[in-house]
Amino acid sequence: MDAHTSLRNALKLGGSLLVTYVIGFGLQVLVPRVLGPDSFGQYNWANGTSAAFFILSALGLDVYIRKEVAVRREHASEFLGGTLLLQVVLAVGLMGAMLAMMRHEGTPPEVRALALALGLYQFFFRLNAILAAVLHAHEKVDGLSVAHVLMKCIWGFGLGLALLLRAPLPWLAAPFIGAEVFKTVFLFHLTRKYAGLQLRLDLRSTGAVLLGALPFFLNEAALATNGRVDVFLLGVIANTTEVGYYGAVWGIAGLTMMLSPILGWVLLPMMSRAAASSQEEFTRILRRGLEGIVSVSVPVTLALALGAETWVHLLIGEAYLPAAPVLRLLAPIFVLTYVATVCGSWLMAANRAWTVTRTSLLAAGLNLGLNLVLIPPFLAWRGLTGGASATATSLAICEVVVTLILVSAIGSRAWDARALAVLGKTAGVCAAVTLAHLLLGRLGLDASTLLRGLTRMVVDGLLYVSLILLTGAVRKDEVLGLVRQVRNRRKPQAATEPTPTEARAA
Predicted confidence band of residue 259 (pLDDT cuts 50, 70, 90): low
Does the pLDDT of residue 470 top 90, yes or no? no
Task: Please report, rounded to a whole number, the percentage of residues in the chain having pLDDT higher than 70.
Answer: 80
30: left (phi over 0), alpha (psi -120 to 50) or beta: alpha
Contact 425, 467 (CB under 8 A): no
Going by C-alpha positions, the residue among 258, 227, 441, 247 that lies closest to residue 326 is 247
pLDDT for res 105: 83
Predicted confidence band of residue 498 (pLDDT cuts 50, 70, 90): very low
**What CA–CA distances, in Å, run from 122 to 43, 49, 51, 175?**
15, 11, 7, 13
- pLDDT tens by residue, 213-229: 888 777 777 766 666 77
Residues 128 and 122: their CA atoms lie apart, in Å, by 10
Higher pLDDT, 2 or 66: 66
Predicted confidence band of residue 70 (pLDDT cuts 50, 70, 90): low
82: left (phi over 0), alpha (psi -120 to 50) or beta: alpha
Q: Locate the domains of the chain by residue range.
A: 2-415, 416-492
Report the run of H or E that residue 412 belongs to, with start and end.
Answer: none
Length of the chain: 506
Query: For 79-103, what is the mean pLDDT?
Result: 89
Going by C-alpha positions, the residue among 137, 114, 254, 264 that lies closest to residue 194 is 137
pLDDT for res 112: 92
- pLDDT tens by residue, 189-205: 888 877 777 777 778 88
- pLDDT tens by residue, 428-451: 888 998 898 888 877 655 545 777
Neighbours of 91 (CB within 10 A): 21
pTM of the full predicted structure? 0.68
Does the pLDDT of residue 39 top 60, yes or no? yes
Query: What percent of the chain is helix, strand and coil (3-state, nearest 5)?
Result: 85, 0, 15
Does the pLDDT of residue 292 top 80, yes or no? no
Q: Going along 174-259, which residue ranges are E strands?
A: none
Which residues are CB-neighbours of 135 under 8 A, at least 6 positions away?
Answer: 141, 143, 144, 187, 190, 191, 194, 195
Going by C-alpha positions, the residue among 324, 149, 161, 357 that lies closest to residue 250 is 324
Predicted confidence band of residue 504 (pLDDT cuts 50, 70, 90): very low
Residue type, 436: A
Residues 304 and 327: their CA atoms lie apart, in Å, by 7
Query: For 318-344, what is the mean pLDDT?
Result: 87
Contact 23, 180 (CB under 8 A): no
Going by C-alpha positions, the residue among 486, 495, 497, 492 that lies closest to residue 4 is 486
Contact 117, 173 (CB under 8 A): yes
Going by C-alpha positions, the residue among 245, 398, 258 that lies closest to residue 326 is 245
Going by C-alpha positions, the residue among 81, 196, 74 that lies closest to residue 130 is 81
DSSP 55: G
Query: For 11-27, what is the mean pLDDT?
Result: 58
